[in-house]
A and B are shown apart, each in its own frame.
Chain A
Amino acid sequence: MAIDSLAAAGTGARPSRPPRAVSRGRRGLGDRLYRALILASVWAVLILAVGLAAALSWESWPAIRAFGLRFLVTSHWDPVAGEFGALPFIYGTLVSSLLALLIAVPLSLGAAIFLAELAPAWIRPPVAFLIEMLAAVPSVVYGLWGIFVLVPWLRDWVQPPLGRALGFLPLFQGPPYGIGMLAAGLILAIMVVPYITSVSREVLLAVPGSQREAALGLGATRWETTRIAVLRYGRSGLIGAILLGLGRALGETMAVTMVIGNRPEIAASLFAPGYTMASVLANEFTEATSDLYVSALVEIGLLLLVVTVLVNGLARVLVWTVGAAPARGGRA
């Protein structure tokens, strides 16, 4: 209060007063406004998240009541008969995303290490730019490219030899349609590579030079330096990058829908068609007419939210535990 009145008096005697008092008075008001705005945005985000979960739960309540836990463990999806089980969609979402990570993580980390550690300086910006460009391609374009280029290529050139060489594994059995889980995993991998690569590159660039100098000073080779001093130092960031990619893969809809075959069945083979949670929502929501059907679809949306939250939670736990490790390692 005293400062306010001082400042108010100050504005009256402008020429003799130092401008500092004036600005301090304004800052008091500005600070309060700033605080209110920030608080409002925090609450808005929180309310939005809680409201989203509440609305999804509310809308899916008829399906939850009708099917209970059966919804999670049965794989019978028959809109005509009004029987709904979400297991094939959960399975498809998890398997396609994990397959995508399996392919994308080595590629992305390799690219990030090259860009951060090995590449000559002049080549870094254009290559990094090109990789980030991949993130700007709309997913429907990936989907079309998938149908017209990737799928025929898989069907004619990849799946037949894979089936011949590794056909004794259930993973690679069945007729080569091209379309299916493998195509979905591949297209997702291409879509998450730019995310994982650019975040990993930033993480690696943030590793202090003294780390590398110390390792080199101890006589480590280039590879050993990268492995011991850079990758280990940045591993919590790298895991964060990978989980960001996973989050993207779990929610991707359009491109996956176009190449996965949309068949709600759990098949051991990667050649077989599958289905994901996001795809079934995109496919069936517009024409779902019965209340129970809509409710079952909303419950899938709720499940997708739960899976995403679980994955994010897991990410946090991983980043915390791994993030604590270098300190201990450093002491040893």
Chain B
Amino acid sequence: MKSPTKFLVMLLALALLVPAAPADAQMLMNGAGATFPYPIYSKWFEEYIKVDPEVRFNYQSIGSGGGIRQITERTVDFGASDGPMTDEQLQKAPGPLLHIPTVLGAVVATYNLPGNPQLAFTGPVLADVFLGKITRWNDDRIKALNPSASLPDQPIVVVHRSDGSGTTYIWVDYLCKISPDWEKAVGRGTSVKWPVGLGGKGNEGVAGQVKNAPGALGYVELAYAVTNKLPAARIQNQAGKLIEPTIESTTAAAAAAAKSMPADFRVSLTNPNGADAYPIASFTWLLVYKDQPNEARGKALARFLWWAIHDGQRHPAALLYAPLPAPVVKQIEATLRQITCSGKPILAAK
């Protein structure tokens, strides 16, 4: 009776010990933050094993706020955020932090109407719908934008994210830029005080409520809308063109902003001035300390980042993220060269 138990215990002990032995040779980089880029980051971490088998990653997708807190407290090697850190937050960090853009995401307006016609919106109309000023689908301003669609005489059920989220930040950031009324009444943030509407938790919560409520209008990530075949409205950009949300039109938003890119990449890409740019797009960032405390770890991290903005950019499109445009990659290279360890640059001129 006893010996099989003993045998099992020994097996278990062996099973626990065996993988632990080679792990000593590996370096485990810890990261935490945004949930939105989690799929592409996991893909990268997996692909990067082929490049450098010594480095493993442990990424906790706890949300941008958590990512900022953890990197500020130096409990992780890198943080991740969908919104740039504020000046106040940067001051609280024990050292200068760099924002490294990794990929782009877009937010689309999705809706539920009979037959789901392809709709078009302008920023001010969207803002007024979300402010509760336009309340019915057959409103003249919506009709004027969509002359061919049959719009029912039905109330618009506004659906927004209930959880704090980078998606919300991008959406309201756009509304702020396009509508002074919105900026004054609501403002921008990962959670805001919504004037009207129902809240759904996560993309799936918003999509679920939109699908189930006739006459609903909500916003979700582009990737989520495409994989779930949700209707996505075309939005008029600054150049006056109606732009369909796609990976290409999202990358175009960053390309349009490249000329006026601030050195620290803390920039909002919404409402850019490119002719083909989709107006509700944003970077997502990794946050790393400019001066790395440990040389080996700093080197591994900087090399990974270098890989991510170059070879790594092959992967986003398959997962419906938009890759960085070439001019922006050049700008990030310069930033990555600034990473140091006790004053010495880590990435020497490659």
Which residues of A are in contact with B by a Cβ distance under 8 Å? 76-81, 144, 147-148, 151-152, 155, 175, 177-179, 257-258, 261-264, 273, 275, 279, 282-289, 294
Number of A-B contacts (CB under 8 A): 105
Q: Tell me which of A81, A178, A283 contacts B199 (CB under 8 A).
A: A283
- The smallest C-beta distance from A296 to any residue of chain B, in angstroms, reads 11
Given contacts A78-B193, A147-B205, contact A283 B212 (CB under 8 A): no
Whether A287 and B192, one on each chain, are in contact in the complex, defined by CB atoms closer than 8 angstroms, is no
Q: Establish whether residues A286 and B212, one from each chain, have CB atoms under 8 Å apart when the complex forms.
A: no
B interface residue numbers (CB < 8 A to A): 35, 62-66, 68-69, 86, 89, 155, 157, 162-166, 186-194, 197-201, 205, 208-209, 212-213
10 interchain pairs (CB within 8 A)? A79-B189, A80-B193, A81-B193, A147-B205, A155-B213, A284-B164, A284-B191, A286-B163, A287-B163, A288-B190
Name the CB-closest residue of A to B201: A257
Q: Which residues of A contact B166 (CB under 8 A)?
A: 287
Q: How far is the CA of A81 from the CA of B186 in the complex (A)?
A: 9
Q: Is the CB of B198 within 8 A of A179?
A: yes
Contact partner of A286 among B66, B162, B194, CB < 8 A?
B66
Residues of the B chain whose Cβ atoms lie less than 8 Å from the Cβ of A144:
208
Instruction: Return the chain A residue nearest B190 by Cβ.
Output: A287
Q: Which residue of A lies closest to B63 (CB)?
A: A286
CB distance from A141 to the nearest CB of B (A): 13
Q: Choose from A79, A179, A287 the contact partner of B193 (Cβ within 8 Å).
A: A79
Contacts of B192 in A (CB 8 A): 78-80
> Which residue on chain A has the smallest CB distance to residue B216?
A177
Contact B198 A81 (CB under 8 A): no
The chain A residue sitting closest to B69, CB to CB, is: A289
Chain B facing A: main interface SS:
loop
The smallest beta-carbon distance between B199 and chain A, in angstroms, is 3
| Chain B residues whose CB sits within 8 angstroms of the CB of A288 once the complex forms | 65, 164, 190-191
- Tell me, in angstroms, the Cα distance from A289 to B63 when the chains sit together: 10
Asked if A175 and B201 make an inter-chain contact with CB atoms under 8 angstroms apart, the answer reads no
User: A76 — which chain B residues lie within 8 A by C-beta?
Assistant: 193
The reply to whether B65 and A286 contact each other, CB–CB distance below 8 Å, is yes
Which A residue sits closest to B89, measured CB to CB? Answer: A289
Knowing A148-B212, A178-B212, say if A286 contacts B193 (CB, 8 Å).
no
Q: Could you tell me the distance in whole angstroms from the C-beta of A291 to the nearest C-beta in chain B?
A: 9
Pairwise interchain contact B68-A289, C-beta atoms closer than 8 A = yes
19 other A-B residue contacts (CB within 8 Å) besides A78-B193, A283-B201: A147-B205, A147-B208, A147-B209, A178-B213, A258-B200, A258-B205, A262-B162, A262-B200, A262-B201, A279-B162, A283-B162, A284-B191, A285-B164, A286-B63, A286-B64, A287-B163, A287-B190, A288-B190, A289-B64
Q: Which residue of A lies closest to B192 (CB)?
A: A80
Q: Which residues of B contact A258 (CB under 8 A)?
A: 200-201, 205, 208
| Given A283-B201, A288-B164, A177-B213 contact (CB < 8 Å) | yes
Q: Are B198 and A263 in contact (CB-based, < 8 A)? A: yes
Cα distance, A294 to B69, chains bound together (Å): 11
Given known pairs A79-B191, A148-B208, A287-B63, the reply for A261 and B155 (CB within 8 Å) is no
- Name the A residues within 8 Å of B35 (CB-CB): 286
Instruction: With both chains docked as a complex, state the minimum distance between the C-beta of B31 and any C-beta of chain A, in angstroms.
Output: 15
Which residues of chain A have C-beta atoms less than 8 A from B198's C-beta?
177, 179, 261-263, 273
For A262, A279, A288, A289, the residue with the greatest tally of chain B CB atoms inside 10 Å of its CB is: A289
Which chain A positions have C-beta within 8 A of B213? 155, 177-179
Residues of B within 8 A of A77 (CB): 193
